[in-house]
Every structure is written in structure tokens, then in C-alpha cells.
Amino acid sequence: MTIEEGLSLKGRTAFVTGAGGGVGEGIALALGKAGANVVVAARRLETGEPVAARIREGGGEAICVQTDVADEQSVFAAIGKTVSTYNGLDILVHNALSGRATDRTPIADAPEDLFDDVVATGSRATFWCVKAALPHLQRGKGRVVLLLAHGGVRGHGSLSIYGVAKGMQRGNLKALTWELGGRGVSINAIVPVALTDGMARDFERRPGEYERQAARSALGYIGKPEEDIGGAAVFFASDAARYVTGQTLFVDGGVYML
């Protein structure tokens, strides 16, 4: 197996949640360039459709499916649409998370619905996505990739609920490694630091903030969603990673070294 063959996703189908922007968009684009049929699962079609269009314009194959990952029926319907469209499913990437996840609300003041919303789109959605996808993932070919966060590993003083939700997902990773491994399916996680459009807009309003954040990285810059985070996702989804499972990869330029 050559390096090119090992990293090729030609003929495989990937379902990516939260792919309407940010890291999810970058991963969807990278998987498309690696040859996969990509299902852009987005809560809103107006954000997801342009991503699918970009993949098609680049010579890839993609559709957008409206998906609410906090809703079991929506997830199963979206996976069903994926399988009926492409006659199978090989790669599941769960990236979606509530936009409220990064609300800097002390846990003493946090409303219960905030906790429910973040956990529903994080850990509980991981359960729905894996449960819906698993019957279709082939032994030796099936791949699951979760997107975690530093807050779920090291904690963060002003993002307690976010940290809880991501910590629960890391627990999902460890537990599912054995169950999925018995079926010949791997599961791994990425902890990213990437310059999303939203982050870039925030930096424009705060002169010097990019430089301050970039200085936290040993490499001196903030990663790119497609080239850096997407590259890691392609690896985990490929045959090159067939003997890698249960691992958490920090793609953060050396911000943390655990």
C-alpha cells in the first residue's frame, strides 16, 4: 500500500455533523478532496448547502442534509438519507455542538436549559450518531471521529458546562473504543485549535489578539480548519490509520502537550 493509496478515501462515504462552518466545514472539504462522498449535515440548509456546493465545484461529490443532532429522529433520518443516496456509510465525524456551548456563564448562574442544550448536542448526540451509523459501518473500514476540546481535557475556569460536555464525549470515546473495536470499527478524537471565520471576525475587533493567541502555539500560528484539522481527520478516516483507535490527537500547534 503506497502513501497515496493509504490516505485515499475514494469510493467511501462520510457523514460530517456541524459541517456548515468552522472546523466542520474544513473537515468536510478535506474529506471531499481526499475522494470521499461527503454528506454535509447542518442544522440550517443555508449554511450547509454552500459547503456541499464547494465540494462539488472542486470535483467531489456532496449533498447537504438538514440535521438536528440533538434530535434522535433527525439523526436517524439523516443517516438513512446518506445510506440511500450513496449505498452505504464508512466515516462518521461528529463535530456539531450548540452555539451556546462557549457562553462564559459561571456554573452557579447557569440555567438548566443551557446545560441540557450543550450536553444534548455533545455527548448525547454522539450516542445518537454512533447508534444510527454503526449498522452501516463495515468491518475494517468503518471510522468514527469525534471533535473534542481542551476544556474537556484540562478544564477551563469560565467554561464549566462546555468542559463537562466535552469531558463526557471523551468518556464516550474510551467506552466505545472497545465496543466498536469488536466490530472492526475504529474511533478517535481530535482536539483542534483553528482559525474559524467567527474567530477571525473577533480578532478584527480586537487588535493584537491574533498575535497573542498565536504566541501560545509552539509553531507561532493558529491552525487552519481544512489544511490542519481536516488533514488529521483524513488520516483517521483512512487505511493509513487502520490500527489506530481510542486515541485523542491534539492538533493545536503544541499549545498543550499531554
Tell me which long-range contacts 47-54 makes (C-beta under 8 A, separation of at least 24): 47/20, 47/21, 48/19, 48/20, 51/19, 51/20, 51/21, 51/25, 54/29
Catalytic position from the list 86, 162, 210, 256? 162
Distances 252 to 33, 112, 144, 161 between C-alpha atoms, Å: 22, 31, 20, 22
DSSP bridge pairs for 93:
16, 145
151's grid cell: 476544556
Per-position DSSP letters for 235-246, written without gaps between them: HHHSGGGTT--S
Q: Where are the alpha helices (DSSP H) in 58-207?
A: 72-86, 112-121, 123-133, 160-181, 197-205
86 is catalytic: no
48's enclosing H/E stretch is helix 45-57
Burial class (CB in 10 A: 0-12, 13-18, 19+), 226: buried
List the grid coordinates of 182: 469488536
R_g over Cα of the chain: 17
For the chain, counts of helices (H) and of strands (E): 10, 7
**DSSP helix/strand/coil, 194:** strand
Residues assigned a catalytic role: 162
